[in-house]
Amino acid sequence: MTLSAFFFLILNGLSSASALFFVAVGLSLIFGVSRIINLAHGSFYMLGTYIAYSCATRVGGAFGFWGGILVTALIVGALGALIEIVLLRRIYRAPELFQLLATFALVLVFSDATLYLWGPEDLLGPRAPGLRGAVEILGRHLPSYDLFLAILGPLLLLVLHVTLVRTRFGRLIRAATQDREMVGALGVNQALLFTAVFALGAALAGFGGALQVAREPASLSTDLIAITDAFVVVVVGGMGSITGAYLAAVIIAEVKALCIGLGVVHVGLLSVNFSKFTLVAEFLVMAVVLIVRPFGLLGRMQAAVRTIAEPEDPIRPATPLLKVLGLITLIALACLPLLAHSFPYALILGIDVLIAVIFAASLHFIAGPGGMHSFGHAAYFGLGAYGAALLVKWLALPMGAALLVAPLVALLGALLFGWFSVRLSGIYLAMLTLAFAQIVWAVVFQWEELTGGSNGVIGIWPPPPFDQAWVYFLLCLVLAVIAVLVLRRVLFSPLGYAMRAGRDSELRAEAIGIDVKRVHWLAFVIAGAVCGVAGGLFTFAKGSISPEVIHLNHSIDGLIMVLLGGIQTLTGPIVGASLFAVLQDMVMRDSEYWRALLGGIILLLVLAFPQGIVGALARLFDRARAP
Amino acid sequence: MSVLAVRSLCKTFDGFRAVNDVSFAVARGEFLAMIGPNGAGKSTCFNMINGQLAPDSGAILFEGQEISGLEARAVWRLGVGRTFQIAATFASMTVIENVQMALISHAGEIYWPWRPARSLHRERALCLLEQVGMHEAADRPCRELAYGDVKRVEFAIALASEPRLLLMDEPTAGMGPGERNELIALVKKLVVERGISVLFTEHSMDVVFAFADRIIVLARGQLIADGTAADIRDNERVRDVYFGSGKTFAGAAP
């Protein structure tokens, strides 16, 4: 590569960096002040592109385009304010993961609202009036709009920086980022501040989305892409630091640009196709940064937020009532095959539910009692699933062996990723687990020779007698019961107690000789291995496996299951997973707008059952028993 | 031989000398108070002794063995217990489970993945709770306790590992005067029975002068006095540090 080509590449990267920065900066501001993990931020960005598209095409001309971008920012900002007032205010004091669930429901709702309003097709906007041409730099042509974006990014950074440093509003934001309770104690109207910051963050996302209208088509898939990008940038830069966010955006964009620019490079006999790394580049950068600097490039250790939810009740061994209920459920499930003739679908659904139960129970194990909010639990599901599928495909192993190897493969993955992840906590741990999952996903997606790429592996059917649904169902039932009981047993053992001890107070745990990191690592590995069982079962249940199961969506599904049932209870994940699997299945089959429906149901649950279903039931039961 | 010997300990945070060339020793069975105004470096000293912080320089010898730079849990394993200024317990466990946790760890059973923890060392835990007067609350969730009771539980946790040295950072912070004397009297009684040496910090001069065998005074990171209650009361430099008047100590004769 010549020097001029390299320089051109860097310049190109800067315009992508600006785009990343626009999405990320609002998220960083919102998180800094309200500590809300707003998953719907990517949806604001997506809406921005769609609204700007409509402005630009309906009104047309320079006014429609440029004016439209500003109007879009205002509309999305107003929408943000509305959401803050109607929804988020009710859940500021809820546990972090709970807020995640609520904002993910918004993602689903917005996604279908967009589908309803604009249709499923990608919409390509007009090019920017006045900036349609290209600038010649070093003998190459750079679209002038890209150059405009490359300059706009740092400009926005400057404006925000001055606002934060010079204005009263900015000082309040900085103060609230450091200690929001103190700001409240000083008599600042917190409600107004939070609404304003949320609106500002949303407006910035909408603005960023709107600017993209001239570069990329408006598409329904941008919401999740944008939110992942934004999170990566914010975490790499350091939560709450806008300068860090720009720095991170530049680093990530440049690494990606270089990967594309390098293309296939021959080193001796080896040829490496660097363009394949673009999918995973940002996550590699994030993983490296978090391992070296646990709080991001310019981030600081966060002051603990003192107004979190009440600590949970001590765990108690199962009451006779619970044991009887469990036994009845088990017997009922074991009898399900008798229904196979009248409701053949019941068994298929049953298998899905049981796999979901193993998945959710293993995630709950580390996320609840362990306090490690993994956003990448699907990685271990995928490792188990692919481990089993590939052994059958390449080595023609029997199903029994493949199902044994599945948890082992997942265990190895958890051993490696867990070692790094347990060194972090809170949102940083969540993001590192996410990064690892995305890396696994990208490897599986790109390594077509081994994994079949996006097509996955097909034709992995169980041998007789397991090819009959009811036999396979019983196999799943046995394994699910074993998995749930083993996890429960461990929770009540010294190891499980030590894991909770480390979550409750790391300081105290270390002061009585508990190696918290090692205990959490071990727990992470156990959860990973159990999750691998679910993956293995899934492969043979579907007869095929594709990279989707490793995707962020699946990890989030797991979290929703756990939260739906109640993270502070031990039976919660079982109930949550069952309900989620059934809901997803029924709602999905019956409605075109299943996402919105699911989102609506989740929102209802969030507002009506803040402790999850089992938590709410337990509370009702306690109240009934009290005199 | 002294149980704990601290020699020329130094710690700097961003150019601020939090602890500057501090040396002192705790004799076996001694109840030694470390006092000083806020920001004198007491907690930093504690955090270095129990392994939460690594000193910049200096030596910390526990029973003749160099422990500076060891991890907190390694220091604990050697026989150094610790309570915190803001009591740290496991909020999602019952009172007795908190103590059981320490006993389980002391017995080296932390990695047991199978036997139920709640049945392990229950008798011994109850016995410890009884000694601190908390046995009736044994099966209550720890988060429901009044703060003074949490401090008692924390003390029971610290005793569980049969330490030979206890570091107590403001054991009575956040308590009322009556409760305060009661707790310190209890602490003193139990450690004397067991022959445990104690290094504690305290803001209540009543408590310090009534109970400490010896007192060391820290100010701006430096050790400025070391002696009995009478020595300290008469010490000019100590008076200067505490607002330049001796009035703080006047009514506190033991």
B86 contact A CB<8A:
no
Strands of B165-169's sheet in order across: B80-83, B165-169, B197-201, B31-35, B214-219, B222-227
Q: Between B66 and A435, name the one with better pLDDT.
A: B66
Band of pLDDT at residue B178, cut at 50, 70 and 90 = confident
Element (H, E) at A496: helix A494-504
**SS3 state of residue A125:** coil
How far is Cα A494 from Cα A483, in angstroms, rounded to an integer?
Answer: 18
Give the pLDDT score at B251.
Answer: 44
Give the residue from chain B lying closest to A498, CA to CA.
Answer: B110
Using the predicted structure, report yes or no on whether residue A133 has a pLDDT greater than 60.
yes
Per-residue pLDDT at A302: 60
Q: What is the mean pLDDT of residues A343-357?
A: 92
pLDDT beyond 50 at A308 = no
* Tokens linked to A524: 């992470």
Q: What is the phi-psi region of residue B162: left when phi exceeds 0, alpha when psi lies from -120 to 50, beta otherwise?
A: left
DSSP line for A498-563: HHHHHHH-HHHHHHTT--HHHHHHHHHHHHHHHHHHHHHHHHHHHSEE-GGGGSHHHHHHHHHHHH
Number of Cβ atoms within 10 Å of the Cβ of B46: 23
In this structure, what DSSP letter does residue B141 have? B
Q: Which amino acid is at A162?
A: V
A162 CB burial (10 A radius; 0-12, 13-18, 19+): exposed
Nearest to A500 among B93, B112, B118 (CB): B93
Mean of the per-residue pLDDT values of chain B: 89
Give me the amino acid identity at A368.
G
How many Å apart are CA A260 and CA A8, to the nearest integer?
Answer: 13
CB pairs < 8 Å spanning A and B: 119
Tokens of A447: 């390594």
Chain A CB contacts of B160 below 8 Å: 512
pLDDT at B138 over 50: yes
> Does B169 fall in a domain?
yes
Judged by phi (left if over 0) then psi (alpha if -120 to 50, else beta), residue B9 lies in beta
Q: How far is A189 from chain B (nearest CA, A)?
A: 30
pLDDT in tens, A446-455: 888 888 888 8
pLDDT digits (tens, 9 = 90+) for A605-620: 778 877 778 888 887 8
- Whether residue B245 is predicted with pLDDT greater than 60 in this model: the reply is no
pLDDT value at residue A476: 96
Nearest alpha-carbon partner for A73 in A231, A200, A198, A195: A200
Alpha carbon of A233 to those of A13, A14, A285, A506: distances in Å? 15, 14, 10, 28
Interface test with B, best of A313, A316, A492, A508 (most B CBs within 10 A): A508
For chain A, percent of residues with pLDDT exceeding 90: 44
B203 interfaces chain A, CB cutoff of 8 Å: no
Which residues partner with A545 through β-bridges? Answer: A457
- Structural domains in chain B (count): 1
- pLDDT of A583 > 70? The answer is yes
Closest residue in A to B104 (Cα) is: A494
B118 has pLDDT over 60? yes
Which chain A residues contact residue B143 at CB under 8 A?
Answer: 310-311
**Strand B214-219 relative to strand B31-35, pairing:** parallel
Closest CA relative to residue B77, chosen from B164, B151, B192, B195: B164
Nearest to B94 among A314, A507, A509 (CB): A314
Residue A20 and residue A253 in contact, taking contact as beta carbons nearer than 8 Å: yes
Average of per-residue pLDDT across A513-530: 96
Q: What pLDDT sits at residue A564?
A: 84
Rounded CA separation A99/A88 (Å) = 8
Residues above pLDDT 70, as percent of chain A? 97
Contact B48, B11 (CB under 8 A): yes
Asked if residue B79 is part of any domain, the answer here is: yes
Which of A4 and A545 is assigned the larger pLDDT? A545
Alpha carbons B152 and B140: distance in angstroms, whole number = 14
Tell me the two tokens of residue B204: 């209540």
What number is the average pLDDT over the span A170-177? 82
Nearest CB neighbour to A494, from listed B76, B94, B110:
B110
Q: Would an 8 Å CB–CB cutoff place A490 in contact with chain B?
A: yes
CATH number of the domain to which B56 belongs: 3.40.50.300
- Of chain B, the percentage scoring pLDDT greater than 90 comes to 65
Please tell me the predicted confidence (pLDDT) of residue B243. Answer: 57
Q: Do residues A303 and A440 touch, judged by C-beta distance below 8 A?
A: no
Mean pLDDT, chain A, integer: 88
B246 within some domain: no
Residue B69, sorted as left (phi over 0), alpha (psi -120 to 50) or beta, turns out to be left
What is the structure's pLDDT at B247? 46
Q: Determine, yes or no, domain membership for B248.
A: no
Which among B49, B93, B162 is the top mutation candidate for probing chain A, defined by the most A β-carbons within 10 Å of its own β-carbon?
A: B93
A511 and B50 within 8 Å at the Cβ level: the answer is: yes
**Average pLDDT over every residue of A337-365:** 91
Distance CA A179, CA A174 (A): 9
CB contact under 8 A, B93 and A511: no
Say if the Cβ atoms of A511 and B109 lie within 8 Å: no
Please determine, for residue A411, whether its predicted confidence score (pLDDT) is greater than 80: yes
Tens of pLDDT, residues B151-166: 999 999 999 999 999 9
Give the best residue of A301, A313, A512 to mutate against chain B (max B CB count within 10 A).
Answer: A512
Which amino acid belongs to residue B188? K
Nearest-Cα residue of chain B relative to residue A513: B73
Q: Report the b/e string of A25-56 with b at 16+ CB within 10 A.
A: bbbbbbbbbbbbbbbbbbbbbbbbbbbbbbbb
- Residues A228 and A234 sit within 8 Å (Cβ to Cβ): no
> Does the structure's ipTM exceed the value 0.85?
yes
Cα torsion for B43, B48, B49, B55, to the nearest 10°? -140
Asked if residues A25 and A209 have their Cβ atoms less than 8 Å apart, the reply is no
**Cβ distance of B73 and A511 shorter than 8 Å:** yes
Chain A interface includes B211 (CB < 8 A): no
Give Cβ neighbours of residue B49 (< 8 Å, ≥ 6 apart): B4, B6, B60, B67, B75, B80, B167, B199
Rounded CA separation A355/A381 (Å): 10
Model pTM score: 0.87
> Average pLDDT of B110-122?
93
How confident is the model at residue A627, as a pLDDT?
57
Contact A205, A44 (CB under 8 A): yes
Give pLDDT tens digits for A24-41. Answer: 999 988 888 888 888 899
Q: Is residue B252 part of a domain?
A: no
* 3-state DSSP percent of chain B in helix, strand and coil, to 5: 40, 25, 35
The Cα B30–Cα B243 span in angstroms is 29
Q: How far is Cα A397 from Cα B110, in angstroms, rounded to an integer?
A: 38
Taking residue A624's Cβ as centre, other Cβ atoms within 10 Å add up to 7
Chain A residue with CA closest to B163: the answer is: A512
Task: Check residue B197 and give its pLDDT.
Answer: 95
**Band (A307; pLDDT cuts 50, 70, 90):** very low
Does any domain span residue B109? yes
Q: Chain A partners of B94 at a C-beta cutoff of 8 Å?
A: 314
- Classify residue B249: in a domain, yes or no: no
Q: What domain range includes position B214? A: 4-241
Whole-number Å distance between alpha carbons of A499 and A371:
9
- Domains of chain A and any CATH numbers: 3-119+143-292 (1.10.3470), 347-625 (1.10.3470)
pLDDT of residue A43: 96
CA distances (Å), origin A271, targets A261, A262, A282, A445, B44: 15, 12, 22, 19, 55
What pLDDT score does B253 carry? 41
**What would the mean pLDDT of A76-96 be, rounded to a whole number?**
88
pLDDT confidence of residue B244 = 55
Average pLDDT, integer, range A163-182:
83
pLDDT tens figures, A183-226: 777 878 888 888 999 999 999 999 999 999 888 899 998 888 88
Return the pLDDT at A235. Answer: 86
**DSSP 8-state symbol, B192:** H
- On the CB side of B9, CA atoms within 13 Å amount to 32
Contacts of A505 in chain B (CB under 8 A): 88-91
**For residue B250, pLDDT beyond 70:** no
The winner for highest mean pLDDT among A254-258, A491-495, A551-555 is: A491-495
CB B10 within 8 A of CB B21: yes
In a domain, B9, yes or no: yes
Kindly determine whether residue B102 and residue A489, on different chains, have CB atoms separated by under 8 Å. no
Candidates B110, B122, B166, B167: best to mutate against A (most CBs of A within 10 A) is: B110
- pLDDT of amino acid A626: 66
The token duo for A94 is 């809820």
In the block, tokens 């309906």 appear at A58
pLDDT classification of A118: cutoffs 50, 70, 90: very high
